[in-house]
């Protein structure tokens, strides 16, 4: 598998409706199918496992190896994860090196939940997870966050984090057309992939984790 794969990641999608003549949404079901770990020095313990989670109300998949355990959930507004530091060292996440790869294979800079949208293009300090510690956060492509200036004088300008995925109301579908054409478009995403590259500095070791997700099914919904 190539280091980055042309792909898409899609989960349950909340719809932004800007037109009264059409009101469509799509429900995506996604699985974590593959994970890679690249480091400067190969570790002796190569144990790695991906599992689904049935009883957790927040996270749906888990990746674990000899260094970390990471739980994942993704929807149209966020990529949410929880990291457990299984080592005796401090882990740092250098956010400016993290990458989201969209369905066309393009790389995107990401920001995480503590970054104000006004600072989305500025350098981000690393997050620190002490040995044995837990860390929860969410990431989102910074260029998917737009400054909206309404045409009417009565509404104020605001930041808007658009949908990650092909859906009515997202930047990828300016005019969804009929419900039938919308349904055909979103269902064409079944089987496609996307990746998240999450770099971790573990003591003196630099690891690059690449997580690959796959769309298993999608259902178009006409409200």
Flag whether 148 is in a domain. yes
Flag whether 207 is in a domain. yes
Distance CA 2, CA 6 (A): 9
Tokens representing 175 are: 């005019």
Flag whether 5 is in a domain. no
If one counts every other C-beta atom within 10 angstroms of the C-beta of residue 205, the result is 15
Tokens representing 163 are: 């949908």
Question: SS3 of 203, please?
Answer: coil
Flag whether 30 is in a domain. yes
pTM: 0.82
85 in Cβ contact with 92 (< 8 Å): no
Flag whether 4 is in a domain. no
Instruction: State how many domains the chain has.
Output: 1
Flag whether 130 is in a domain. yes
If one counts every other C-beta atom within 10 angstroms of the C-beta of residue 132, the result is 10
198 in Cβ contact with 99 (< 8 Å): no
Please write the tens of the pLDDT for every residue from 47-67. 899 999 988 778 999 999 999
The boundaries of the domain holding residue 144 are 24-222
Please write the tens of the pLDDT for every residue from 90-149. 999 999 999 999 878 999 999 999 999 999 999 999 999 999 999 999 999 999 999 988
Flag whether 141 is in a domain. yes
186 in Cβ contact with 166 (< 8 Å): yes
118: Cβ contacts below 8 Å, ≥ 6 apart: 159
């Amino acid at each position: 598998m190539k280091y980055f794969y042309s792909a898409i990641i899609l989960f349950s999608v909340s719809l932004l409706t800007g037109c009264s003549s059409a009101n469509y949404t799509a429900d995506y079901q996604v699985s974590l199918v593959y994970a890679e770990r690249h480091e400067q020095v190969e570790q002796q313990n190569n144990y790695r496992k991906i599992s689904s989670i049935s009883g957790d109300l927040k996270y749906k998949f888990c990746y674990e190896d000899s260094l970390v355990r990471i739980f994942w959930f993704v929807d149209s507004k966020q990529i949410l994860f929880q990291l457990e530091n299984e080592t005796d060292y401090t882990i740092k996440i250098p956010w400016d090196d993290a990458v989201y790869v969209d369905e066309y294979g393009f790389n995107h800079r990401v920001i995480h939940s503590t970054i104000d949208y006004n600072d989305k293009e500025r350098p981000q300090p690393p997050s620190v997870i002490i040995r044995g510690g837990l860390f929860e956060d969410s990431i989102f492509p910074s260029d998917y966050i737009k400054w909206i200036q309404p045409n009417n004088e009565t509404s104020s300008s605001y930041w808007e984090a658009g949908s990650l995925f092909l859906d009515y109301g997202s930047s990828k579908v300016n005019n969804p057309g009929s419900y039938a054409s919308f349904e055909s478009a979103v269902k064409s995403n079944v089987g496609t992939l996307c990746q998240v590259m999450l770099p971790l500095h573990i003591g003196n070791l630099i690891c690059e984790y690449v997580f690959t997700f796959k769309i298993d099914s999608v259902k178009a919904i006409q409200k």
